[in-house]
Amino acid sequence: MKLRAHFIGIGGIGVSALARYFLAQNWAVSGSDIEESIITKELRREGAQLKIGHFKSNVNPDIAIVIYSQAVPLDNPELIEAERLNIPISSYPEALGALTRENKTVAVAGSHGKSTITALTARVLISGGFDPTVIVGTRLKEFGNSNFRAGRNGYLVIEADEYREAFQNYQPDIIVLNNIDREHLDYYKNLRNAQKAFVKFVNNMKGGGIVIANADDQSIRAIRTELPKDTIWFSLDSKTNAKRVKQIKRVIKIYGSFNVSNALAAYLVGEALGITDDNILDAIGGYRGAWRRMEYRGKAKIGKQIIEVYDDYAHHPTEIVATLGAFREHFPKSHLICIFQPHQLQRLKALFQEFRESFNGVNSLILIDAYQVAGRDNMSHNVSSAKLARAIAKSNKDIDNVVYLPSQQNIKGLLSGVASKKKSKQNIAVMMGAGDIVKLTDRLLQ
């Protein structure tokens, strides 16, 4: 009889990958989430038994372990029932941490860019013959549109999430430090606390481990003396990396200088593991991007207009600036439209001024209501998408249209109004945010 693992919040991008790991290890898997999604539907097809809604009846004595998402409150009825039945309980970071201790682990950390670097690093290791197990925070075409790959030789590549210091549970052999930003301020309060957490994470590394750090990031440079003396530094501007950067630019298919930097980090992981330049560059050159990372979704026909639609996960000002900059660089003469959904009111309040200055370079900006995260937006923050739209319209006269859209049902009509009417002008729409804006993208393309 198979051992059974039960996952609370199984639809989350990280928890679902871990559920797939257990399926690959021939466990029976069950789970629950508050709503149906692409991921829950996929997991059902792969053999998991899923319930929508959290109920104590979802938990029974034949379960060997319960694993829960950090987003799940401690008064969740399934958690309470598991405790009553004395079933072993583990958070997602604790369960993933156990895997890092059992495997030779590459962990990618940073406020931004984790998924792309993890995906590129995984491709580099696969190209080099390492056959790693991979747990990544997005769906990859290379893995059959999955966020998980089962490997066979004891290597593990993961994202090291800094939210609530989840990464303190991990003990990697190689750490990539990409950047540290004013993110998750509901927990960290300020940048210095975040920096301290990253340093503590580095100190969890196994003996003889390797740190690969981004010298182009000011917040990482500021903790240089707190990192190991033999840290490997990467930079787009350094003479040391000039040849690698030139090689990467020759083969890379994804847009933006930040993605060249992401690829350079993956390149150095490959070098540290003895993978040849040719194999590394084949892996980087063959990467076509990930789900919701500057992802081309298709053409929307609105009246007589054709709008090219892209999806992107950016939800922090730093990410927005980098992503929109890459779009503008790649489509310099196009009419660039951004449809943005803020993610979490607390983040919008803490970084309101930064958001206000993040959309330079777009021709039109449409703001929809913020996605409120369960358990993290329980109070009014006196901010809204409407307030942000007014602030941007007042301060940025270079954007032709700044509009707050209270009803998503009206998106096609509004897009028709703001899109360029010139036949020679290509319309590019970027659907941006970490919430449920992807549903709006689907509606737009119908």
pLDDT in tens, 292-305: 787 899 998 887 88
* d(C-alpha 99, C-alpha 384), whole Å: 41
Q: Please indicate, yes or no, whether residues 125 and 86 belong to a single structural domain of this protein.
A: no
Return the sign of the alpha-carbon dihedral for residues 263, 265, 268, 272.
negative
Q: Which of 90, 114, 141 is the last residue of a domain?
A: 90
b/e 29-60 (16+ beta carbons within 10 angstroms → b): bbbbbeeebebbebbeeeebebbeebeeebbe
**How many Cα atoms occupy the beta-carbon half-sphere of 297 within 13 Å?**
25
Q: Which of 229, 260, 285 is the last residue of a domain?
A: 285
* d(C-alpha 68, C-alpha 91), whole Å: 5
- pLDDT > 70? residue 117: yes
Q: Please indicate, yes or no, whether residues 129 and 262 belong to a single structural domain of this protein.
A: yes
User: What is the pLDDT at residue 379?
Assistant: 53
User: What is the pLDDT at residue 378?
Assistant: 56
Residue 274 sits at φ, ψ, to 5 deg, of: 80, 20
Mean pLDDT of the region 371-391: 77
Say which CATH number the domain at 258 has: 3.40.1190.10
Owning domain of residue 372: 295-445
Cβ contacts of 48 within 8 Å, gap of 6 or more: 10, 19, 23, 29, 30, 31
Indicate the range of 26-30, 205-209, 440-444 predicted with least confidence: 440-444
b/e 411-429 (16+ beta carbons within 10 angstroms → b): bbebbeebbbeeeeeebbb
Indicate whether 346 belongs to any domain. yes
Indicate the range of 16-30, 62-76, 319-333 predicted with least confidence: 319-333
Q: Tell which residue, 345, 201, 214, 320, has the closest CA to residue 193.
A: 201
Length of the chain: 446
Q: Looking at residue 286, what DSSP letter applies?
A: T
Q: Looking at residue 274, what DSSP letter applies?
A: T
- Bridge partners for 301 per DSSP: 306
Indicate whether 402 belongs to any domain. yes
Indicate whether 290 belongs to any domain. no
Q: Which of 64, 90, 116 is the last residue of a domain?
A: 90
The residue assigned the tokens 């709008």 is 307
Q: Please indicate, yes or no, whether residues 243 and 356 belong to a single structural domain of this protein.
A: no
Structure tokens at 210: 């390797």
Indicate whether 24 belongs to any domain. yes
Indicate whether 196 belongs to any domain. yes
pTM: 0.85
User: What is the pLDDT at residue 381?
Assistant: 63
User: What is the pLDDT at residue 374?
Assistant: 63
Q: Please indicate, yes or no, whether residues 354 and 441 belong to a single structural domain of this protein.
A: yes
Q: Tell which residue, 3, 2, 6, has the closest CA to residue 48.
A: 6
Helix orientation angle between 437-445 and 411-418, rounded to the nearest 10 degrees: 80
pLDDT (tens digit per residue) in 148-198: 999 998 999 999 999 899 999 999 999 999 999 988 888 999 999 999 999
